[in-house]
Amino acid sequence: MTLDYQFPKDFWWGSAASATQTEGSTNGISGATIWDRWYKEAPNRFFEGVGPDQTSDFYHRYKEDITNMKAIGHNSFRLSISWARLIPGGKGDVNDDAVRFYNEVIDELLNQGIEPFVNLYHFDMPIELQDIGGWENREVIEAYADYAKIAFDLFGDRVKTWFTFNEPIVPVEGGYLYDFHYPNVVDARRAIQVAYNTMIAHARAVKLYHEAQDGKIGIVLNLTPSYPRSQNPADLKAAHICDLFFNRSFLDPAVLGEYPDDLIELLEEHGQLPETKVDDKDLLKNNIIDILGVNYYQPRRVKAKEHLPNPYAPFMPDWFFDNYEMPGRKMNVYRGWEIYEKGIYDIMINLKENYGNIDSFISENGMGVQNEERFIKDGRIEDDYRIDFIKEHLKWLHKAAEEGCNVKGYHLWTFMDNWSWMNAYKNRYGFFSVDLETGERTAKKSAEWIAEVSKQNGFND
């Protein structure tokens, strides 16, 4: 049988999750992260006061969860290691309990025929390292490099696909620009230093990996296409600058080994260049990634500024563009995000044309919906809206693959409903629902659908 949408051979079907959002910070032996600190200090900033201790308990139920992954056709799964769990305090002795846990998870995935993709950092700085400045402090780069090497040495015999960071722009935006992550700083200069030091830490890990390991290492970036309101030069320039700040500030050094000249010039003009070291340039140039994970949820639409920035207000990327709300846009009303499926294709074409057609895959895509129990019928959540969302994105991904883009797979965020930072359990994303009282997992309609897609390596319209 010929399918309308047949995907390349050995396509990765799976999902992604993170340690902080699934393991439960009080399960097992673990150090504290910035999330434990912030929740303790300001529980009101978390939806319904639910903190990182109350997660889906992957720590105890991973065997059940991995069995469920296998049942719905996963051949790959991205998880993250908690730095604070593996090395409490971020530096020093390795936690044997964490080594046992991650070994058991990796072995169980492999036993079930699911390839583990392991990410080293997903927004979860050990609190002791945040207290000395976090990514602002180059001492933390050294600690991260030590942590990365330990992880490679412990698990690299079985894990052959690694990622240094997930969405490194998010701690920059949330923690240092727009006050939606700890440490709640609003200071662009510090934000830019954090972003820069993160990429130096990334390059250090890539170098260590290539020196001693035989798999692939990359980074996961949430690439958000910047679409101009119009073809007017002012709108085009606004979109270009937005793209420099939010996409190319990580994409270019990761894939090309250097920063865009016009980003450097812009920061220099406004006195916002980060502090660098003489060897940094060569480090970036000589340690580019093997594979790129692409998280895509929504586009970014921008226009030229309506008003000049307040010269007394803090410097911000927003000095150069305004967000544009396109009339008639399709929305996920629960999340407040536009749904624009073609964005996934535009990203892949950009990677093909401007980034050497690097091996890449969709490492996250998904639809968060509130109060999904409204859609229960005969004990199952009938999430046809999620099936439609995935299907329409996959059609554009298929088109990109047909046109020669190096697309290796598609991972949904996420396998089962999980705790989501400040939003806690407000929006549900999983193939499986999780009962917060009992922890019981129940497959949604989308789980049955993706099982068939994975089995056939494609689908009919």
| pLDDT surpasses 90 at 31 | yes
> Cα separation of 240 and 416, whole Å?
36
Please report, for the chain, the start and end positions of each structural domain, with discontinuous segments joined by +.
5-459
Give pLDDT tens digits for 334-374. Answer: 989 999 999 999 999 999 999 999 999 999 999 999 999 99
**Sequence-distant (≥ 6) Cβ neighbours of residue 210 within 8 angstroms:** 217, 287
> Cα separation of 310 and 314, whole Å?
8
Pick from 94-98, 241-245, 335-339: least confident = 335-339
The structure tokens listed for 49 are 């006061």
The structure tokens listed for 358 are 């690097």
**In the structure, what pLDDT confidence band is assigned to residue 54 with cuts at 50, 70 and 90?**
confident
* Start-to-end Cα distance in the chain: 14
**Residue 364 known to be catalytic:** yes
What is the per-residue pLDDT for 125?
98
Beta bridge partners of 221: 294
Single out the catalytic residue among 269, 364, 373, 382: 364
Top-confidence residue, 293 or 422:
293
- CATH number given to 5-459: 3.20.20.80
CA distances (Å), origin 90, targets 123, 140, 187, 196? 14, 9, 25, 20
Q: Can you give the pTM of this predicted structure?
A: 0.97
Q: Average of pLDDT values for 17-26?
A: 96
Say if CB 19 and CB 122 are below 8 A apart.
yes
DSSP 42-69: -GGGSGGG--TTSS--HHHHHHHHHHHH
> Cα separation of 394 and 348, whole Å?
12
Residue 265 half-sphere exposure, CB side, CA atoms within 13 Å? 4
Say if CB 98 and CB 136 are below 8 A apart.
no
DSSP 362-413: EEE----EE-GGGGEETTEE--HHHHHHHHHHHHHHHHHHHTT--EEEEEEE
What is the per-residue pLDDT for 312?
93
Which position has the token pair 């016009």? 262
Q: Which of 97, 376, 327 is nearest to 229 (CA)?
A: 327
Beta-strand pair 216-222/226-228: unpaired
List of long-range contacts for 104-113, beta carbons under 8 Å, 24+ apart: 104/62, 105/62, 105/66, 105/79, 106/155, 106/158, 106/159, 107/158, 108/62, 108/63, 108/66, 109/66, 109/69, 109/77, 110/158, 112/66, 112/67, 112/69, 112/70, 113/70, 113/75
